[in-house]
Amino acid sequence: EVQLVESGGGLVKPGRSLRLSCTASGLTFGEYSMSWVRQTPGKGLEWVGFIRSKAYGGTTEYAASVRDRFTISRDDSKSIAYLQMNSLKTEDTAVYYCTRYYNYGYGYFDLWGRGTLVTVSS
Partner 1 sequence: AIQMTQSPSSLSASVGDRVTITCRASQGIRNDLGWYQQKPGKAPKLLIYAASSLQSGVPSRFSGSGSGTDFTLTISSLQPEDFATYYCLQDHNLFTFGPGTKVDIK
Q: List residues binding partner 1 (CB under 8 A).
A: 35, 37, 44-47, 50, 61, 63-64, 97, 106-110, 112-115
SS (H, E, C) 36-57: EEEECCCCCEEEEEEECCHHHC
> Least distance (Å) from partner 1 to the CB of residue 114?
6
> Least distance (Å) from partner 1 to the CB of residue 13?
26
> Least distance (Å) from partner 1 to the CB of residue 15?
27
| Sign for the pseudo-dihedral over CA of 2, 8, 45, 105 | negative
> Least distance (Å) from partner 1 to the CB of residue 106?
4
3-state helix, strand, coil in the chain (%, to 5): 5, 55, 35
Residue closer to partner 1 by CB (options 31, 47) is: 47
Residue closer to partner 1 by CB (options 29, 62) is: 62
Q: CA-to-CA distance for 7 and 19, rounded, in angstroms?
A: 9
Residue closer to partner 1 by CB (options 50, 70) is: 50
Q: CA-to-CA distance for 60 and 62, rounded, in angstroms?
A: 7
Residue closer to partner 1 by CB (options 16, 111) is: 111
